[in-house]
Amino acid sequence: MTDTIEAWQCIGCGRVEAPQTCIGVCRDRKVQLVGLADFEQARAEAAALRARLADVHAHLQRFVLATPNEGRWEAAWLALQAQLREVLGSLTDVVMPPAG
């Protein structure tokens, strides 16, 4: 679980105050801040997920654009199914992350 800090951010200038708002004329809204290490980890995980999504997209694009040769549709279908099973297998940890 990532620790957060409650703070207030001005909706106009972006100034951040914690642990309470200033007595100025700014209009503040409550925000949650996280540490840099937690942010960097989340950003790296998001980048890895985007890369995996691009890979899945490429495989699905092949499936969409496939036009088997006359009389070879079954072999092409089976080959595409095998490739997509691999893709689905690579996503198991994303769709169903380990408990704990």
47-73 pLDDT per residue, tens: 998 998 898 888 888 878 878 788 888
Model confidence, pTM? 0.58
pLDDT band at 88 (very low <50, low <70, confident <90, very high): confident
Q: What are phi and psi of 7, to 5 degrees?
A: -145, 180
CB 16, CB 5: distance < 8 Å: no
